[in-house]
Amino acid sequence: MITLIIGKKGTGKTKKLISLANEAVEASNGNVVVIEKGSKLTYDVTHKARLIDTDQYAISGYDAFFGFLSGLCAGNYDVTDVLVDSTLKIGGQDFAAFSEFVEKINVLAAKSETKFTFLVSADAKDLPESLDAISVKL
C-alpha cells in the first residue's frame, strides 16, 4: 500500500510523518524505516525506528531511489512500514518520473507486503491525476 501526503511547504506534512512513524512503531511486529534527506528528524522520531539519511548513500533520482528501496525490502524481510520525507528533494521535480516511480513502488509494496508513505511538497493540482487515488492532501 502506498500513501502520498501532499501539500505545500509549511502545511504540517513532516509533523504528520513523525506522528505516523511513532504510531507505526507501536503497532508494528517488524521494522519501521524513516527516510529523509539530511538529518533533521533525529530527535523527533522514536529510536525504535530505523532513520536513514539519503545523503549518506548519495541517492539522487528516482531510479536510484527505487533501487535503494528495493534493496531495503530485499535485505530485511520484516520491514512493515517505510516513511519518506522530502520525496521530491531526493528524486527530483519531474512529476512524470515521479508518477512512474510510484507505479513501481506500488508493485514493490505488494510483493514485499510493506506500507510506503511519501511526503510530497507540491500543489496537488500540479501532480498527475493518476496519483489522486492514493493522495492525502494537507
Quote the CA–CA distance of 48 and 31 in Å, as a whole number.
Answer: 8
What pTM was estimated for this model as a whole?
0.90
Residues 52-92 pLDDT 10s: 999 999 999 999 999 999 999 999 889 999 999 999 999 99
What residue ranges do the domains of the chain occupy?
Answer: 2-137
CB-based contact 128:96 (threshold 8 Å): yes
Query: What is the distance in angstroms between the CA of the first residue and the CA of the last residue of the chain?
Result: 19
Q: State the pLDDT at residue 93.
A: 92
Of all residues in the chain, the percent with pLDDT exceeding 90 is 67
Assigned superfamily of 2-137: P-loop containing nucleotide triphosphate hydrolases (3.40.50.300)
Q: Which residue has the higher pLDDT, 131 or 16?
A: 16
- Report the C-alpha gap between 124 and 135 in whole angstroms: 8
Predicted local distance difference test score (pLDDT) of residue 137:
59
Select from 47, 59, 53 the least CA-distant residue to 21. 47
User: What average pLDDT does the chain have?
Assistant: 90
Quick one: pLDDT band at residue 13, thresholds 50, 70, 90? confident
